[in-house]
Amino acid sequence: MSPFSARTDVARTWNPLARALAERRARGLPLLDLTETNPTHVGLPAPGPAPLAHPDALRYAPEPLGLLSAREAVADYLSGRGAPVLPEHLLLTASTSEAYGWLFKLLCEPGDSVLVPAPCYPLFESLARLEGVHLRHYRLSSAQGFGLDLEALAAARDERTRAVLVVNPGNPTGHFLHEGELEALGAWCAREGLSLVSDEVFSDFAWTEAPGRVRTVAGRALPMPTFCLSGLSKVAGLPGLKLAWMHVGGPEAARHEALARLEPLADTYLPVNVPVQVSLRDWLAGAPRFQAAVLERVRANRRALREVRPSDASWSVVPAEGGWSAVLRIPLEPGEEATCLALLDAGVVAHPGYFYDFVGGAYLVLSLLPPPDTFTAALGPLVRVLGGGA
């Protein structure tokens, strides 16, 4: 019998694409990486080190929900973006991923399930498994622009489902939740007794203004317990600082109880370091500059991608509203993996749709964050491999 738990038994085999990429790297061949989404690797503006020199940085103050001054800074940031929230309804974690782990502990018994979108960035599988929670996928249909479909939610739910996870806007699909969708979702969650977890790490990255888009569910009067997540990782491009936040909303009694339970849970781990908390207002002050640079970069790369597409191409750029990625719909033959391997041969790294659980077609996912010279240099090989006319 293994001395280790089944929860930690993760497949360690390499897929053919990862193997081919490692071989190419080992041979020192050039690569244009269109899967790079690390904001600290792509020449975007970063704040100076000054905030780390705060006089209180080394004074340890164990506050389970996070230092009040830091939660006030987050409340002001969210309020400035149209979400009036109170610091006492916020809780800090080291990352959004950690917040998911805490929410699974808060909302689920081992063996319970949560509803997660598909396609989606592959984030939830291991977070849920480590908490003994099952995932049930609800499909986002390409025919509906990867928007929320209540019928798909209802079909995915089982008697042990405790919560719905929504990624707003979707990663990598870039669809924002719309007011009508949120209203229907709220009524359904309330009727079914489910909580809502809204992942809004990309919600500051809308490419255009459009009426009826939900930027955040924080500060809304919603009829079910609501947990809204974001953090410095995407908002300010600082994943290494390890600070994220959760806003707890919904009916007052449920909110009160959720926070009362989250506090001892947070006290058990106390993961957020003090230096980043005492200077959080300064880090957040740099967010608009970072976001403006990302939006300029992402818009320019997406425009370049659309411009190189031959008008009779058998592939297309899937419409989207925000985020850091582009999704391409490609022909079913030769398919996602063969296309990615051919791209790799041509020196370009791209992700196949199946990494993100796309079905009902063949897809590629490209990061729009790489520097424009890298991105545009990759477009020639991309067009050659994907081909022109149908």
Ligand X SMILES: Cc1ncc(COP(=O)(O)O)c(C=O)c1O
User: Which residue is listed with tokens 């360690």?
Assistant: 12
Q: Site map for ligand X, 35-64, x if CB under 6 A?
A: ------------------------------
Half-sphere exposure for 287 (CA within 13 Å, toward CB) = 26
Q: Hey, what are 61's tokens?
A: 């103050």
Alpha carbons 190 and 50: distance in angstroms, whole number: 46
Q: Which is nearer to ligand X, 315 or 356 (CB)?
A: 356
Q: Which is nearer to ligand X, 118 or 313 (CB)?
A: 118
Write down the least CB distance from residue 231 to ligand X, Å.
Answer: 4
Using alpha carbons, select from 241, 161, 235, 228 the residue that is nearest to residue 193: 161
User: Which residue is listed with tokens 């041979």?
Assistant: 27
* 123 binds ligand X, rule: CB under 6 A: yes
Write down the least CB distance from residue 380 to ligand X, Å.
Answer: 28
Write down the least CB distance from residue 229 to ligand X, Å.
Answer: 7
Which of 113, 161, 171, 203 touches ligand X by CB under 6 A? 171
* 96 binds ligand X, rule: CB under 6 A: yes
Candidates 93-101, 259-267, 283-291, 332-340: pick the segment binding ligand X (CB under 6 A).
93-101
Write down the least CB distance from residue 37 to ligand X, Å.
Answer: 7
* 233 binds ligand X, rule: CB under 6 A: yes
Q: Return the residues of window 237-266 that contact ligand X according to CB under 6 A.
A: 239, 244
* 201 binds ligand X, rule: CB under 6 A: yes
Q: Which is nearer to ligand X, 186 or 237 (CB)?
A: 237
Q: Which helix (H) or strand (E) holds 367?
A: strand 362-367
Q: Would you say 116 and 171 are in contact if contact means Cβ atoms under 8 Å apart?
A: no
Using alpha carbons, select from 317, 384, 315, 371 the residue that is nearest to residue 345: 384
* 194 binds ligand X, rule: CB under 6 A: no
Q: ∠171-177-181 over CA atoms, to 5°? A: 140
User: Which residue is listed with tokens 């970072």?
Assistant: 290
CA quadruple 96, 293, 215, 273: dihedral positive or negative? positive
Write down the least CB distance from residue 251 to ligand X, Å.
Answer: 26
Q: What is the DSSP letter of 143?
A: G
**Which parts of this chain interact with ligand X (CB under 6 A)?**
95-97, 121, 123, 167, 171, 199, 201, 231, 233, 239, 244
